[in-house]
Amino acid sequence: METEDSSSENGLLHRKQALYSSLDSCFEIQKEMYRGQQYSQIYFARLHLMRTLLYSLLPNWKPHIHVCTVIGLEEGKECIIVGTLYKHMKLKPSILEEYSKERSATPLVRPHNFMHPDDHLILEDESGRIKVCGDVLLPSVYVTGVVVALHGKETGTGDFWVEDVMEAGIPHQIERPIKSGEDKYVIFVSGLDIGSSTSNPLKFQLLVDHITGHLGDKKEQSIAAKIVRVIIAGNSVEIPRGLLNGQNLGSKDQFTLSEPIKELDIQLTQIAAGIPVDIMPGPNDPANFSLPQQPLHRCLFPSSSAYNTFRSCPNPHLFQLDDVSLLGTSGQNIDDLEKYSDANDKLEFLERTLRWRHVAPTAPNTLGCYPFTDRDPFFVETCPHVYFVGNQEKYETRLIKGAEGQIVRLICIPRFSETGVAVVLNLRNLECHALSFGTEFG
């Protein structure tokens, strides 16, 4: 293990290192071929994948109940059906409405929640669909795209009365070797929004200075020397979209348009010169719209991409640091869940996606997604140790435990431009704390 302790040598500290490996190959779409297909194939892949999984879990759940497909349901007979849930929502906006809004230069208004008391769930597999009723399966909790196993029976009215529901559950987690080790920190930050009117460049500069070891006294710098990686989880720039009106841009406009990216590049250069950094695209970044978002192109970062510490990553991003596996997104999946379902806090959404074993169940229904033909890359194969989401309102974190003893640290990373808060994670014990910056010195 090539780690170095931060003992000072001639008064200078060494930065700690951590073994990094990226597992993002499933999120790349270069190999995919677009043949004009739509989304039936990704749904089928998802259903097939998760149904196989659920069938394997059924014997532990209710071994005596007979399993059948939707078409094979008999009235009054208790059985288990496995399929994809579809939530019929009265207030769900139509695509035409959204299209016309997107065409305008002004950004979309942050959408509200589209739930309605009349929403109901329908279970669908490749043989048919059936409306689901009962108190066990709450429409407010579930969203379209989740694959579950339902135990119940068909009623006289042709609905399926649910007695019990089984989700895929948190996947198996590779255990971390328990060793005392040393503290190594990972910094998560998102929503830098460089170029926007709300972002304060001084705050970000303070963050950069703190991470790279300029700020602070010896003690603080020795703590900063233990930071091994910086993850920037989306929305790093805000391009002035008002300039993009379909016409050719004059040189002055072009300059204004590229200013934020250049500023980001300067800051990233400062970070990359001292510490490995991963940057993920977000909803507002110059990257593709549909998930999985492909890594930001390195031509945007002419200076930072010269460093071997600079890495442009896709969204979602799955990687490993030492023996901790981390998975996270820039926020689109959780924001979409928030629009179509209800929970006490964002962490609950996060936990649900983990229990459903799918990072973005609403893709491709309401969340833009690439029409994969033979796989569903958002399926969570093994349980990560850290599961994060960026661009949220506030910093929240929780440690959840799974049935098999899995331990996951859930993190909501707040928008830095609004809150000035970044998140610090200790890889040794998965402890988290906030790192906040204030510049009101008056």
- Which residues from 374-393 bind other proteins, rule CB under 8 A? 374
Q: Is 224 exposed, middle or buried (0-12, 13-18, 19+ CB in 10 A)?
A: buried
- Report the sign of the C-alpha dihedral through residues 269, 272, 277, 278, in that order: positive
The residues in 421-440 that bind other proteins, with binding defined as CB under 8 A, are 421, 424, 432-440
Smallest distance from other proteins to CB 379, Å: 17
Which one among 152, 169, 195, 213 touches other proteins, defined by CB under 8 A?
213
Distance between CA atoms of 88 and 143, rounded to whole angstroms? 9
Reading the block at residue 306, the tokens are 């010269």
Closest CA to 362 of 402, 393, 333, 392: 333
The residues in 318-337 that bind other proteins, with binding defined as CB under 8 A, are 320
Strands of 310-312's sheet, edge to edge? 310-312, 277-280, 227-233, 185-189, 421-426
Smallest distance from other proteins to CB 343, Å: 23
The residues in 186-205 that bind other proteins, with binding defined as CB under 8 A, are 200-202, 205
Binding flag, residue 41, other proteins (CB under 8 A): no
Which one among 36, 59, 63, 117 touches other proteins, defined by CB under 8 A?
36
The residues in 215-254 that bind other proteins, with binding defined as CB under 8 A, are 215-221, 224-225, 228-229
The residues in 334-373 that bind other proteins, with binding defined as CB under 8 A, are 373
Binding flag, residue 14, other proteins (CB under 8 A): yes
Which one among 18, 147, 287, 367 touches other proteins, defined by CB under 8 A?
18
Reading the block at residue 175, the tokens are 């255990």
Closest CA to 440 of 423, 420, 422: 420
Size of the site for other proteins (CB under 8 A): 86
Which one among 269, 332, 333, 366 touches other proteins, defined by CB under 8 A?
269
Distance between CA atoms of 167 and 54, rounded to whole angstroms? 8
Smallest distance from other proteins to CB 5, Å: 12
Binding flag, residue 135, other proteins (CB under 8 A): no
Q: Outline where DSSP puts E strands in 58-127.
A: 78-88, 120-125
Return the number of the residue (153 or 214) whose C-beta is nearest other proteins: 214
The residues in 283-302 that bind other proteins, with binding defined as CB under 8 A, are 297-299, 302
Distance between CA atoms of 204 and 437, rounded to whole angstroms? 8
The residues in 405-424 that bind other proteins, with binding defined as CB under 8 A, are 421, 424
Smallest distance from other proteins to CB 88, Å: 32
User: Do 140 and 348 meet the contact criterion of CB atoms below 8 Å apart?
Assistant: no
